[in-house]
A and B are shown apart, each in its own frame.
Chain A
Amino acid sequence: MDINLIVDSISVLAHGVFLTLSVTLLSLVVSFILSVPLSLLRASPNRALSRSVLAYTYVFRGTPLLVQLFLVYYGLSQLTVVRQSIFWPLLREPFWCALAAFSLNSTAYTTEVFRAGILAVPRGITEAAQALGLSRLMQIRLIIFPLAFRMVLPSYANEVIGMVKASSLASTVTLLEITGLARRMVSETFAPYEVFLAAGLLYLLLNFIVSAFFRTLEMHLAHSPTSNSRNIKAGPKSSKLWPLRQAIDKRAHTKPDDQPSIRSL
């Protein structure tokens, strides 16, 4: 074990951190945006809607990400329609293929995570929101989604960590992120221990940052005035109806076209 080589490897592999992070973060952003409406459909009482979203999540959660990545990267080029479409300049690039595959995969997992949260929102709260005349969109924005997101935060944190790890698969489509650079270094130096140890340290560091971030966020949300956490001492804020009361208050004090915002989200 050569300490100098480990230090050298870390400085080389650090160049891949940017690519790892950009693939991870971009696919997380895309999957978050897509999975919010999809999870609402998935949790809806309408069977046909729920089933069709389930078909998507079931297939994407039931097959390996590597197969999905290769389907996008190698498979789509077989279709003439794709080669002639305006997306072709993008889908020829490994970066955008990886991003597309990771986003679709992550959307499937995130949708199921959010669905669990939406179904866990107590029925009485949504009924109360209805009774107060909040529109469906307002109910979702102010009541259902903030509560659901808080409940599934630990599972969502796991999904984010999973995404950081999954980004290593981008190395199989020639992208030189951390794992890609590490594989190239190993074949050049044949010093697998030092190089992979360096890569492992970088991944552990990234995941440590992610989990610390979510722990802080969880703590922050637990102490925020809209929390539904049971750990807080009794008082008006400990009531499950507190977020609703706050939403109504906000609505009362704002002009009709001035939409209230969710502070802590």
Chain B
Amino acid sequence: MLSFALQFFNGLQITVVLALVSGALGSLLGLFVAMAKLSKRDVVALLGRAYTTIVRGLPELLIILVVYFGGTAAITALTGRYVEINAFAAGIAALMIVFGAYCAEIFRGAIMSVPQGQAEAARSLGLKPWQIWLFVILPQMMRVALPAYGNLWASLVKDTSLVSVIGLTDIMRVAFIGAGSMRAPLTFYLVASALYLSLTSMSLASFRALERRIEIPGH
């Protein structure tokens, strides 16, 4: 049992790294897609809409399987011999795609909540487009997006459990192996639940704290 404590610790690390990396990359992706959806060019806006609509309509598990098996097939076709792609990379890519789609929706709404005059005023002051985004729009939209964005992180933590299906040894996979070898499924899955529950609680609590920190008094 003690040896499994160490394995659970390793699994916890994998889960946390997976969530942090795919969440960070997914947020960037989501931001760009949100900008694309608000773009004046119809083609770009349409592409952004198609991406979010399709990804949000598909099961997360299916996306993970597509990236993993599809990626393996692609590399096998390219190199001419059977190459199995790294499950960690596939997991990060798949979770990033999912997170990015939901993020884009949240960010789009938040960007629209920033008054147009803000960007216009910034432009009249001679700020470049990237400066307008970074210094004017982003800080203001984050305040609006934060509650929904925090919930999204909690669901990302939960979605990471799906990568155990493609063989990554995260918390869920450790519990699965332990449950099989120790013949105590209830114990192992309860431990896994407790670990996930503390991760999602920590995520929610830190976002709540952040929300309070950047809150404007009286709003």
Q: Does the CB pair B58–A204 fall under 8 Å? A: yes
A sample of 14 inter-chain contacts (CB < 8 A) reads: A62-B197, A62-B200, A67-B189, A68-B193, A70-B179, A75-B189, A75-B190, A78-B184, A78-B185, A168-B60, A179-B59, A179-B62, A190-B73, A196-B70
Once bound together, how far apart are the Cα atoms of A190 and B160, in whole Å?
25
Q: Does the CB pair A70–B185 fall under 8 Å? A: yes
Q: Does the CB pair B57–A207 fall under 8 Å? A: yes
Q: Does the CB pair B189–A196 fall under 8 Å? A: no
Once bound together, how far apart are the Cα atoms of A222 and B217, in whole Å?
37
Question: Which residue of the partner chain, among B65, B159, B172, B196, contacts A196 with CB atoms under 8 Å?
Answer: B65
Q: Does the CB pair B61–A67 fall under 8 Å? A: no
In the complex, the chain A residue whose C-beta lies closest to that of B183 is A78
Q: Does the CB pair B70–A193 fall under 8 Å? A: yes
Once bound together, how far apart are the Cα atoms of A68 and B185, in whole Å?
12
In the complex, the chain A residue whose C-beta lies closest to that of B199 is A62
With A75-B186, A75-B189, A78-B184 as known contacts, state yes or no: A62 contacts B57, CB within 8 Å. no
Once bound together, how far apart are the Cα atoms of A80 and B183, in whole Å?
14
Chain A contacts for B92, CB-based, 8 A: none
Q: Does B206 contact A (CB under 8 A)?
A: no
Q: Does A208 contact B (CB under 8 A)?
A: yes
Q: Does B5 contact A (CB under 8 A)?
A: no
Q: How large is the interface on A (under 10, 10 to 19, 20 to 34, 35 or more residues)?
A: 35 or more
Q: Does the CB pair A165–B73 fall under 8 Å? A: no
Chain B contacts for A68, CB-based, 8 A: 193
Majority secondary structure of chain A interface residues (helix, strand, loop or mixed): helix
Once bound together, how far apart are the Cα atoms of A66 and B58, in whole Å?
17
- Shortest Cβ gap from A88 to chain B (Å): 15
Q: Does B161 contact A (CB under 8 A)?
A: yes
Q: Does the CB pair A168–B62 fall under 8 Å? A: yes
Q: Which of B169-219 contact A (CB under 8 A)?
A: 172, 175-176, 179, 183-187, 189-190, 192-193, 196-197, 200-201
Q: Which of B58-89 contact A (CB under 8 A)?
A: 58-62, 65-66, 69-70, 72-73
- Shortest Cβ gap from A40 to chain B (Å): 24
Once bound together, how far apart are the Cα atoms of A187 and B54, in whole Å?
25
Q: Does the CB pair B59–A168 fall under 8 Å? A: yes
Question: Which residue of the partner chain, among B69, B154, B179, B192, contacts A186 with CB atoms under 8 Å?
Answer: B69
Q: Does the CB pair B61–A179 fall under 8 Å? A: yes
Q: Does A172 contact B (CB under 8 A)?
A: yes
Question: Which residue of the partner chain, among B70, B172, B183, contacts A67 with CB atoms under 8 Å?
Answer: B172
Extra contacts, 9 of them, besides A63-B200, A78-B184 (Cβ < 8 A), are A65-B158, A70-B179, A74-B186, A164-B59, A172-B165, A192-B70, A196-B62, A203-B59, A207-B57
Chain A contacts for B161, CB-based, 8 A: 64, 66-67
The total of interchain contacts (Cβ-Cβ below 8 angstroms) comes to: 117
Question: Which residue of the partner chain, among B57, B62, B176, contacts A182 with CB atoms under 8 Å?
Answer: B62
Number of B interface residues at 8 Å Cβ cutoff, please give it.
38
- Shortest Cβ gap from B204 to chain A (Å): 8
- Shortest Cβ gap from B6 to chain A (Å): 20
Cβ-closest 8 pairs across A and B: A168-B59, A192-B69, A74-B185, A64-B161, A75-B186, A165-B59, A64-B158, A78-B186
Q: Which of A57-107 contact B (CB under 8 A)?
A: 59, 62-68, 70-71, 74-79
B residues lining the A interface (CB < 8 Å)? 54, 57-62, 65-66, 69-70, 72-73, 154, 158-162, 164-165, 172, 175-176, 179, 183-187, 189-190, 192-193, 196-197, 200-201
Q: Does the CB pair A74–B179 fall under 8 Å? A: yes
Chain B contacts for A74, CB-based, 8 A: 179, 185-186, 189
In the complex, the chain B residue whose C-beta lies closest to that of A192 is B69
Q: Does the CB pair A67–B66 fall under 8 Å? A: no
Question: Which residue of the partner chain, among B162, B192, B196, contacts A62 with CB atoms under 8 Å?
Answer: B196
Once bound together, how far apart are the Cα atoms of A164 and B193, in whole Å?
23
- Shortest Cβ gap from B156 to chain A (Å): 11
Chain A contacts for B70, CB-based, 8 A: 192-193, 196
Q: Does A110 contact B (CB under 8 A)?
A: no
Q: Does the CB pair A203–B61 fall under 8 Å? A: no
Once bound together, how far apart are the Cα atoms of A203 and B59, in whole Å?
8
Chain B contacts for A64, CB-based, 8 A: 158-162, 172, 196
- Shortest Cβ gap from B144 to chain A (Å): 18
